Amino acid sequence: MLRVARLLPDNLRLPAPLLLDRVTVRGHDPAALTELVYASTVVTPPAGLGVRLVDVPSYARGADAEEDRLVRIFVLVLIGMSVGYTLLAVVNTLLMATVDRRREFAVLRLAGATRRQILRAVAAESAVVVAVGALLGLGVAVVALLGVRAGVAQHVQAPVDLILPVGPNAAVVAACLVLALAASVLPALRTAGSR
């Protein structure tokens, strides 16, 4: 059974909630090694062991920077997978829908529509589909983010800004539009042949 010897102040940022002295750790596991040693006084590390002496603020900054880097990588992977799935879904849906419209295109050709008019109509439909999808997705995301913002603001007792990065969102919508046009106009070009 461990005895609590001391409580550390809340403003002291340490990576572990519980600190044990060397004797206690060695008594539990004689081969235990540690990556960190906390010292209450400045000590000179032994030479040749690769030991580095760091003060608490520098250590906290380094730990925060490493955590930020890992979170950034995770977010980029998550966004990459989401964007990739979205692009695949857009292309797949419009490609299948356009190929299935062969009879419709034939009827339009028989009614007097030119190939160019059919392609323009297909391109306009695809642009409308992407615009509606982007607006619906933005609406759902904003509602969810407003809820998250309210919860975080209540937890931290401070106002939290809602930031929507326009550039990356516009790039995703533009990529969806380009792929949607390619996935609908190219098959329509082939399908809407001569009369």
Predicted structure pTM score: 0.63
CA angle 170, 175, 181 (to 5 degrees): 125
183, amino acid identity: A
- pLDDT (tens digit per residue) in 107-159: 888 899 888 999 999 999 999 999 999 999 999 999 999 999 999 999 999 99
pLDDT for position 125: 92
The SS3 call for residue 160 is coil
Question: What pLDDT digit, counting tens, does each position of 81-114 carry?
Answer: 988 998 898 889 888 888 888 888 888 888 998 8
- CA of 156: how far to CAs of 76, 159, 160, in Å? 26, 8, 9
- Other C-beta atoms closer than 10 Å to the C-beta of 19 total 13
